Amino acid sequence: MIWNRIRGEFIDIIEWLDSTSDTMVWRFERHGNEIKYGAQLTVRESQVAVFINEGQLGDVFPPGRVKLETQNLPVLSTLQGWKYGFESPFKAEVYFVNTKRFTDLKWGTKNPIMLRDPEFGPVRIRAFGTYAMRVKDAATFIREIVGTDGEFTTDEITNQLRNLVVSRFSSVVGEAKIPVLDMAGNYEEFADFVTGKIGPEFEAYGLELTKLLIENISLPQAVEEALDKRTQMGVIGDLHRYTQFQAAEAIQTAAANPGGIAGAGVGMGVGWGMGQQMASAMGGPWGQAQAQAPQQQAAPAPAAPPPLPQAVQFFVAAGGQQTGPFDTAALQGKVQSGEVTRDTLVWKQGMAAWTAAGQVDELSSLFGAMPPPLPPAA
């Protein structure tokens, strides 16, 4: 019993079987026991074992199986003063460092990044993505980050690394002067450029930034909506043909509605007015630029004369129903027949609401030619 108790105080197998996915450093727990001379140290792939004696970093062992003897512990032997070797148990802290690649670590800007874009001017952008890293220098990582932590996980450093990535990303974006649209179209190239700039910051911690992915770079909603409208104009192309297409669609839709072609006439009039306004607006700087551009196409055919002006037409409310439209000549006949009076409600394109016919300038003259009503009989 006494012999078994004495044997239990000595550790002869040192290894770490990691059952987690986020542990970066794990300290081998000795529970006050000493490491036996000649103990077997097993370091698996994606691991490094670091021996520390009284706070001083000693030997570092790569993957493999090692028998702990004087010749295998040169640094620790020097720290312990084992000038002629040793054969007795010894005490040392053993830290296993996980050197595998830790992936899918998130980063993102908490606040928009202000920058001056050569095309849009001052803009604000947001960005987010993922990155991957691993321990490159176990000794530096323990000195700078881990310290005496017996179990160090990614959660203890990802916040710091995320802030580092975002801070350096903001600086790189401002210095690169890359247009926002070029960033969106070249995520991979831009991410590689940012990785090269941020990499040295990770190395100072004993880490290696193996991959940085940019999943999205977004503009404010108002700017994105303006870009969508600009894209729509590019898709429309020939404004004149688009207006014709819209008019044809309006006629087909109106034919299937109770209002019939009469309603389509109003829609076509509105569409024609909008088309004229847009054409006038495009006739400014754009029209001048087109006029100054070299003429590479064939000479256009002689221009046709403009269409004759259309007579003003009014809709008339009769019996609670909308009738018309009628031109001025037709309305004059209805005034003479008594179908339309000064109080009859009428409407034409451009009027805000239905109005009494006697109050409309174009129709007031129709009622002036009519004799007043006869006085009542005595």
Sign of the dihedral through C-alpha 215, 219, 221, 226:
negative
Q: Is the pLDDT of residue 362 over 50?
A: yes
Of 122, 117, 116, 108, nearest to 161 by C-alpha is 108
pLDDT at 293: 47
pLDDT at 25: 95
355-356 β-sheet, strand order: 321-326, 314-318, 345-347, 355-356
Least confident of 78-92, 113-127, 257-271: 257-271
pLDDT at 235: 63
Q: Is the pLDDT of residue 265 over 70?
A: no
φ and ψ at residue 183, rounded to 5 degrees: -60, -45
d(CA 51, CA 60): 6
Cis status of the peptide bond prior to 89, with omega within 30 of 0:
no
Domain made up of 102-223: CATH architecture: 2-Layer Sandwich (3.30)
What the block records as the tokens of 344 is 């009859």
Query: pLDDT tens, 187-235?
Result: 888 788 888 888 899 999 999 999 999 888 888 777 767 766 766 666 6
Rounded to an integer, the average pLDDT of 269-281 is 52
d(CA 218, CA 354): 48
What count of Cα atoms within 13 Å lies in the side-chain half-sphere of residue 120? Answer: 21
What pTM, to 2 d.p., does this model score?
Answer: 0.56
Q: Is the pLDDT of residue 8 over 90?
A: no
pLDDT at 331: 79
Q: Is the pLDDT of residue 63 over 90?
A: yes
For 306-375, give the DSSP string. PPPPPPP-EEEEETTEEEEEE-HHHHHHHHHHTSS-TT-EEE-TT-SS-EEGGG-HHHHHHHHTSPPPPP
Q: Virtual CA dihedral for 52, 57, 62, 64, nearest 10 degrees?
A: -30
